[in-house]
Amino acid sequence: NVEPRSVPVFPWHSLVPFLAPTQSD
């Protein structure tokens, strides 16, 4: 049987957005 070779692994932080404003308040 053929083993799957490359299963993509994604980092946890790619799942949630950065929403905080980056400019100084």
Q: Kindly state the smallest distance separating residue 3's Cβ from other proteins, in Å.
A: 15
> Which tokens go with 2?
């053929």
Q: Which is nearer to other proteins, 2 or 7 (CB)?
A: 7
Q: Kindly state the smallest distance separating residue 5's Cβ from other proteins, in Å.
A: 14
Report the interface residues with other proteins, using CB under 8 A: 7-23, 25
Q: Kindly state the smallest distance separating residue 4's Cβ from other proteins, in Å.
A: 11
Spatial separation of the C-alpha atoms in residues 23 and 25, rounded to whole Å = 6
